A and B are shown apart, each in its own frame.
Chain A
Amino acid sequence: MSVEIWTIVLVGLSFAAYIYIGWQSRVENSKDFFIAGQGIPSIANGAATAADWMSAASFISMAGLISFLGYDGSIYLMGWTGGYVLLALLLAPYLRKFGKYTVPDFVGDRYYSNIARLVAVVAAIFVSLTYVAGQMRGVGIVFSRFLQVDINTGVIIGMVIVGFFSVLGGMKGITWTQVAQYSVLIFAYLIPAIAIAWFLTGNPVPQLAFTFSDIADKLNKIQVDLGFKPYTEPFVNKSMLDVLFTTIALMVGTAGLPHIIVRFYTVKSVRAARFSAGWALLFIAILYTTAPALSMFARYNLIDSLHNQTVAEVQQLDWATKWEKTKLLAFDDINKDGRFQLTPNKDTNEIKIDRDIIVLSTPEVANLPPWVIGLVAAGGLAAALSTASGLLLVISSSIAHDIYYRIIDSSASEEKRVFVGRIMVGFSLVLAGYFGVNPPGFVSEVVAFAFGLAAASFFPVIFLGIFDKRTNSEGAIAGMLTGLIFTIIYIVGVKFGGMQPWFFGVSPEGIGTLGMLINFAVTLVVSRLTPPPPAEIQAMVEDLRSPLIEE
């Protein structure tokens, strides 16, 4: 069977499974709809969190990014995993104990203020929308590349599938679908990685092949010979301070992302929340320790098989000519010596490699059978769809639960609340689809926003809400606003306003760390200058600290 048929079969089968699961987990009441009835076992919640977390960007682009950045790519590896330690130790168990529906719920109740709740709702919607716009585009791109449909058609197919299981099943449907999506995406990622590790080093475990082989040394030598810095040399693209700030911003941002936090409301107990965070990171680590191995092998392999080859030799490589057609790989014999050379200099470089082909081309480069390529397509779609559905639920519950139920109509019946929830999922779906079809030009540039803003707004208020009883509503509101406003101004100023990165050259990606520190300082100082929170709030914080759930 050809690649195209395998792709259609595997994508079709996985989609049928998602829809079946979505139908099986359809729900009626708001507790099931918003927090899956708090009945998700910790290991399943771990797999769902991992799928929710790993987006099309993690699946398709991250390995390529690391491949080009070498050591400096570690900011993503450590940043996007290290945050789970903060989440597991500092936030997840207490939020589960709190046991309501959303992150703004916690902020609103703990700081006894609807203003705090609203600031949190706006931040949650902003963060999630930024993120989901990129996901829908990702869905469209994967579809168009593998099924040869128009990108916009791809976006619409994606919308229909996501809409089906999230409108019907809410959080419960999403969770069980994500467990299935995790299985698809991890197999799809591991099979080509194992193949290339085997092919290059004779060791099938990528993580071990990374360490117990001479590929790193060989790659360093080749890079230096071609005029690049060694692959393993630190701080080639970013200064040490910027690497430090960016890593921290990604870590803290990860811990503060509303679609990840809300997952810990769905488990049975505080104990389950603790273990669930461990399972989530273990499942994520399987991909995140494979990615750097894949990055290094793919880089070595691409240079080794393309650099200094004659035009005729390259034309014989079936995968090279195929990718050349997509324009993601381009050759140009500038100096007319009949061979292609890769150099760091733009004017003499004859091989242009797009970052996104690293993961997507590996199966073909390693000569794997066509079904593996179909599986990679299904995996990329699983990654994009699972993240999109988690984000859609955050947007819809922020509106349906935090604004409609908690602020506008607190006497709304159960049916009405679920109904509003469904309408809002539909509404956010259309919005996300619109962004997928008409991507705002800045999508790829604003990923920094989501993390920077989550770091600068949510993390400090939740952390202090649990660990500092003295933090009051005045402090929390002042802190969230200053952290948010500072971070927005810096990112917008540098990205769009031509402002110099004036804080020791720290890039917009890393400025969330400073925003977070400002938030902490302002919150602590303002809280101390204003009256302490009421006694019942202090009692509530005291109660959060014990894992006993009494209802």
Chain B
Amino acid sequence: MDEDQRRSYWRANTTLIRNLLIVWALVSLVFSILLVQPLNAIRFFGVPFGFWMAQQGSILVFVALIFIYAFQMDKLDRKYNLGKQDQKYNLKK
């Protein structure tokens, strides 16, 4: 990988991290804590929505975020031809 590729790989990585962390902060800190009172006026089936986000929804989103990151990074590694070499290394061992 040359210098330019390195830089654009890193930029793509940090952009992905930033976007996912925005979602992370929205579901947990904003929806489940800061805005929990107004959101509790909305019903999510049998429970108030803010309460559901705090006790179930945010955890489900957290799991999804990590897998999205892992799959997106796989794609990025393939694009920069990093994934294969990584595997080759492992086979060699």
Q: A78-B58, A88-B66, A285-B63 given as contacts; is B46 within 8 A of A240 (CB)?
A: no
* Contact of A77 (CB < 8 Å), options: B24, B29, B59: B59
Chain A residues within 8 Å of B74, by CB: 271
Residues of A207-259 at the interface with B, using a CB-CB cut-off of 8 Å, are: 207, 210-217, 232-234, 240, 243-244, 247-248, 251
Check if A211 sits within 8 Å of B21, measured CB to CB: no
Check if B69 sits within 8 Å of A244, measured CB to CB: no
Check if A78 sits within 8 Å of B32, measured CB to CB: yes
Residues of B30-58 at the interface with A, using a CB-CB cut-off of 8 Å, are: 32-34, 36-37, 40, 44-48, 50-52, 54-56, 58
Check if A285 sits within 8 Å of B82, measured CB to CB: no
Give the docked Cα–Cα distance between A346 and B20 (Å). 46
Give the docked Cα–Cα distance between A85 and B46 (Å). 28
CB distance from B75 to the nearest CB of A (A): 12
- Tell me, yes or no, whether A501 is within 8 Å of chain B by CB: no
Give the docked Cα–Cα distance between A247 and B13 (Å). 26
- Tell me, yes or no, whether A542 is within 8 Å of chain B by CB: yes
- Dominant secondary structure at the A interface: helix
Look across to chain B and name the residue whose beta carbon is closest to the beta carbon of A549.
B89
CB distance from B52 to the nearest CB of A (A): 7
Check if A289 sits within 8 Å of B56, measured CB to CB: yes
B contact residues, range = 35 or more
Look across to chain B and name the residue whose beta carbon is closest to the beta carbon of A209.
B46
Give the docked Cα–Cα distance between A324 and B67 (Å). 46
* Contact of B54 (CB < 8 Å), options: A77, A214, A282, A548: A77
Give the docked Cα–Cα distance between A240 and B36 (Å). 10
- Tell me, yes or no, whether A182 is within 8 Å of chain B by CB: no
* Contact of B86 (CB < 8 Å), options: A66, A210, A271: A271
Chain A residues within 8 Å of B62, by CB: 81-82, 84-85, 281, 285
CB distance from A127 to the nearest CB of B (A): 23
CB distance from B37 to the nearest CB of A (A): 6
* Contact of A85 (CB < 8 Å), options: B6, B24, B77: B24
Chain A residues within 8 Å of B34, by CB: 240, 244
Q: A234-B36, A274-B70, A547-B77 given as contacts; is B86 within 8 A of A207 (CB)?
A: no
CB distance from A300 to the nearest CB of B (A): 12
Check if A548 sits within 8 Å of B82, measured CB to CB: yes
Check if B59 sits within 8 Å of A232, measured CB to CB: no
Compute the total of residue contacts between A and B using a CB distance below 8 Å: 151
- Tell me, yes or no, whether A71 is within 8 Å of chain B by CB: yes
Chain A residues within 8 Å of B67, by CB: 275, 278, 282
Look across to chain A and name the residue whose beta carbon is closest to the beta carbon of B24.
A85
CB distance from B84 to the nearest CB of A (A): 10
- Tell me, yes or no, whether A74 is within 8 Å of chain B by CB: yes
- Tell me, yes or no, whether A386 is within 8 Å of chain B by CB: no
- Tell me, yes or no, whether A391 is within 8 Å of chain B by CB: no
Check if A288 sits within 8 Å of B59, measured CB to CB: yes
Chain A residues within 8 Å of B17, by CB: 89-90
CB distance from B38 to the nearest CB of A (A): 11
Additional A-B contact list (18), CB under 8 Å, known A211-B56, A232-B40, A547-B73? A73-B55, A77-B59, A82-B28, A89-B21, A210-B55, A214-B46, A216-B47, A232-B48, A234-B33, A234-B37, A271-B83, A274-B69, A275-B67, A278-B69, A288-B59, A546-B9, A547-B86, A548-B82
Binding site for A on B (CB under 8 A): 1, 6, 9-10, 13-14, 17, 20-21, 24, 28-29, 32-34, 36-37, 40, 44-48, 50-52, 54-56, 58-60, 62-63, 65-67, 69-70, 73-74, 77, 82-83, 85-87, 89-90
| 9 interchain residue pairs of minimum CB distance | A74-B54, A274-B70, A278-B66, A292-B55, A232-B51, A88-B66, A216-B47, A278-B67, A234-B36
Binding site for B on A (CB under 8 A): 66, 71, 73-74, 77-78, 81-82, 84-86, 88-90, 93, 207, 210-217, 232-234, 240, 243-244, 247-248, 251, 268-271, 274-275, 277-278, 281-282, 285, 288-289, 292, 467, 542, 545-550
List 18 contacting pairs A-B, 8 Å CB cutoff, sorted by A: A71-B36, A73-B55, A77-B54, A85-B20, A85-B62, A89-B17, A211-B44, A211-B46, A213-B46, A216-B46, A232-B51, A251-B28, A269-B90, A275-B70, A545-B6, A547-B73, A548-B85, A549-B86
